[in-house]
Amino acid sequence: MVEKLYIKGGTPLKGEVSIGGAKNSVLKLIAAALLVKGVTKIYNVPQLTDVDIMLQVIEQLGAKIDYNKEEKSVVIDATTLTSVTATYELVSKMRASFVVLGALFSRCKEAKVAMPGGCAIGERRVDFHIKGLEALGAKIKIENGYVIAKANKITGAEIYLDIPSVGATENIMLAAVLAEGSTRIQNAAQEPEIVDLANFLNTMGADVNGAGTSEIIINGVKQNQLHPIEYTTIPDRIEAGTYMTAIIATRGKGIIKNVYPAHLTFYTDKLLKMGANIKLLDPTSIEVSCKNRLNSINFITQPYPGFPTDLQSMAMVLLTTSNGVGIITESLYENRFMQVPDLNRMGADIHQDRNHAIIKGVKKLSGTTLTASDLRAGAALVVAAMMADGDSVVEKIHHIDRGYENFENKLRLLGGKIERRNEDSQPNLTEGTHNESYL
């Protein structure tokens, strides 16, 4: 069944929305559960297709899974693993599943994981992952599209990353947990999701220090020092940034709950400079609002704590109707402006020059038929449709389902006129009031 989102734009979003668990964290926690010969329970697990795929990957390895979607928890029994092979059929569906390489190698001293292949937003090489494991003592072969890693002994090492790759940092962290001696990762990624993974590992008995800085030290422990745990995933900062954008873009006012404001400092600062209003209500709640037209500023995507590439498309949506001209420089991925053609079809004035996008603010956007090309671009088009005049249809929404839990339902809680339909159904978006369901 082909599903689409039908949106009637022009309604200011108002109300409250609660943020779910971080997709980019929980996927790695699931992989890390493979290290423990026992039962691990993870809370605040969002209902996402990416989570479903990662659970299938570790189930294929022999872990037993109990995913309670109502409770938003998953129980993982990795007491016995029956395979060290993560197949292409699953890994190819989601690049993040490649992180099982480090966990399998650490526990079994052997792993066979499919190369993840291409990615819509650009090349994501795995050579940093491989070099890191080789430094720890792995003998690596690449055969028939699989990375095969084996070692008689895993030994701590000094590892320098040419770029602060999140995936490589995570794979090396996992691989080094059971190594003999200490491992030092220099120029490590500093994202909050890295800190969450380190906290998870330390809670189960690992010895990881420095997460959140450019240098992470992992002191190896014995297998019997690791123990089952219960753990709660951090909130999703990108989801929070998305709803902040949607409320501001529609000139509404809303409260975002279950958020760690410190994880969004760079985006919050940019929004304030553009003219939005943001107020901290308590340690995990913020109020955002916007009454007037925003002012254009420039954005440059950078590794954390810089401006996140995952919110670049959201920033672009805001710039389309802001005063003046704004420039976005995408410094991390070569194909991350895939939302530009559709935004221009809505009436935006965007000129792309390689990794620069020059956005001249227009008075308004107009609704039309849109196509989600990837996760973040797709979500940005939904936000653009919410702020536009008239009706829009967003196609290929399976991309959005990878990373946003109940996206249209949460937007409806804020008073948005949006519904999901299969292509044979007719939408009903003509009536409704704040917080009313349009299904």
Do 303 and 192 form a contact (C-beta atoms < 8 A)? no
Task: Identify each DSSP E strand in 54-138 by its residue range.
Answer: 64-68, 73-77, 85-86, 110-114
Spatial strand order of the sheet with 349-353 comes to: 299-300, 325-329, 356-360, 349-353
Residue whose C-alpha is closest to residue 299's, from 286, 311, 282, 284? 311
348-356: which pairs have CB atoms within 8 A and are 24 or more residues apart?
Answer: 348/320, 349/320, 350/316, 350/320, 355/329, 355/330, 355/331, 356/327, 356/328, 356/329, 356/330
DSSP 205: T
Q: Which of 2, 66, 118, 119 is catalytic?
A: 119
Q: Is there a cis peptide before residue 305, judged by omega within 30 degrees of 0?
A: yes
Q: Which two tokens stand for residue 211?
A: 């997460």
Q: How far is CA 313 from the centre of its chain?
A: 14
Do 263 and 19 form a contact (C-beta atoms < 8 A)? no
Provide, for the chain, the percentages of residues in helix, strand and coil under a 3-state DSSP scheme, each rounded to the nearest 5. 35, 30, 40
Residue whose C-alpha is closest to residue 388's, from 416, 428, 414? 416
**Residue 147 and residue 169: Cα distance in Å, rounded?**
17
**How crowded is residue 98: how many other Cβ atoms within 10 Å of its Cβ?**
24
End-to-end Cα spacing for the chain: 17
119 catalytic residue (yes or no): yes
Active centre residues (catalytic):
119
